[in-house]
Amino acid sequence: MSNTFELALEPFHFQIHTDIPLVAENLRLMYGDRVHDVTNQVGILPYIDYILHITHTNGIRRFFRPQARFKCDQYEPFKPLNHSQAFAMLEWGMNWAIASYEMEHVVIHSGVLARGDDAVLFPAPPGSGKSTMTAHLAFNGWRLLSDEMALITPLSQSVTPFVRPICLKNQSIGLAKQWFTDAQFSSIAKDTHKGDVIHLAPPIHQPSDLCRPATIKAIVFPQYQRGAQIDITELNQAQAMYQLADNAFNYSVLGERGFNTLIGVVEKARCFQILYSQASDVQEFLEQEVLQPKLVETVCE
């Protein structure tokens, strides 16, 4: 029994076909009123950017080791995954589609959150605790623009929101469930290439949070270490670029424009490497020392 959903995920519209019940359930949990079941009906959205399929594999395997396949239209970029990972696979598939086809933004693999309209990028490799940080800030007065992909308007420091669930792994799962008791969590995807994975729906305080851009004021390279005292190093521009480059994967398609965008972002932001164990310490630092000073200057004029 196949279902069709439409997902209004500004700035993109997706149509999702699935015959996997856990995908349908998680879509509703994670996206609330942004997702519509349009099975056997005329669609609600006026146009669709990408048509995605997340379905059971065919054949005998379906019965003894069920798997899920992802297709973007007719193209299948991944090998099938274990059935419990189907929703995570859809989320990764959405990332894949945007990363592969959307060239109007410079995309950095990074969390992005904003205090008001001042954005901070959190570019991070696996294991840095980036998503735990993202989750903490999202539930403590910051707005989430994205957990995985910062969409930067070329030749500017402006980030466009692409608000989607936060992806948490392994130990972070238990911690997040303790801290955010009212939040919506997806089912757990077991044994993915990242370990156990769960998705967490971010709070959306007002509708404009979904489409209001923010300006990058800071870049933070977080490194989580259990029990560590907070240790903040301000980076110079060369150091920041050196680290940022590892997380920028489509600037090369945009060529010189992409390159100049990264330069502009690095030169106009304050950049830090932060070793931490308490996300609240990082939050305090950013609010008091990095984003706050602008307000003080205004008052004194």
Partner 1 sequence: MNSTIDRDLLAQLFVRPELAQSLTLAQWTQVLTVLRHEKLLARYALLLEHETYFDALPKFVQRHCHSAITLAERHAKQVHFELAQLRDTFTAATDTWLVLKGSAYTASGCSAAMGRVYNDIDILVDKPHLSIVERQLIMSGWMPQEIDDYDEAYYRQWTHEIPPLQHGYRGTMMDLHHNLVPPVSGRAPDMSLLFKHIELTDAGIPVLALPAMALHSAIHLFFNDDFSASFRDLTDLYLMFNDMSHAQWETAYSLALETGFATELALAMHCTGDMFQISLTAPQLRFVSTHTTLRQSRWICNAMYSTHPFVATSSQSWYTTYAWLRGHILKMPAKTLLYHLSMKAYRLSVERILGKHFFTKQDKGTDRVMP
Partner 2 sequence: MLIQSILKQGVHLHPFHDQSGICLYNDNTTEMVTLFMQAAQIESLLDGVTRCSRDERRMLQSLEDKGFIYEHSLSCLTPLN
Residue 191 interacting entry, from partner 1, partner 2, none, C-beta within 5 to 8 Å by type: none
Residue 275 contacts residue 223 (beta carbons within 8 Å): yes
Residue 241 interacting entry, from partner 2, partner 1, none, C-beta within 5 to 8 Å by type: partner 2
From candidates 25, 73, 246, 289, binder to partner 1 by CB under 8 A: 73
Q: Which is nearer to partner 1, 61 or 294 (CB)?
A: 61
Using rule CB under 8 A, residue 60 touches partner 1: yes
* CA nearest to 79, candidates 61, 67, 66, 87: 67
Residue 228 interacting entry, from partner 1, partner 2, none, C-beta within 5 to 8 Å by type: none
Tell whether omega for the bond before 11 is within 30 degrees of 0, i.e. cis.
yes
Give 169's Cβ-side CA count (13 Å radius): 13
Total number of residues that touch partner 2 (CB under 8 A): 18
Judged by CB under 8 A, the chain residues 162 through 221 that form the site for partner 1 are 193-194
Amino acid (1-letter code) at residue 246? D
CB of 130 to partner 2, least distance (A): 22
Q: In terms of DSSP H, where are the helices of 150-196?
A: 171-179
Distances (CA, A) of 80 to 77, 87, 240: 10, 12, 37
Q: What is the CA radius of gyration of the chain?
A: 20
Only segment of 40-48, 113-121, 157-165, 253-261 that touches partner 2 (CB under 8 A): 253-261
Judged by CB under 8 A, the chain residues 257 through 286 that form the site for partner 2 are 259-260, 262-263, 266-267
From candidates 180, 251, 272, 276, binder to partner 2 by CB under 8 A: 251
Distance CA 139, CA 254 (A): 35
Residue 51 contacts residue 72 (beta carbons within 8 Å): yes
Angle at 94 between CA 88 and CA 100, to 5 degrees: 130
Binding mask 9-38 for partner 1 (x = CB under 8 A): ----x------------------------x
Q: Give residues in contact with partner 2 (CB under 8 A).
A: 236-239, 241-242, 245, 251-253, 255-256, 259-260, 262-263, 266-267
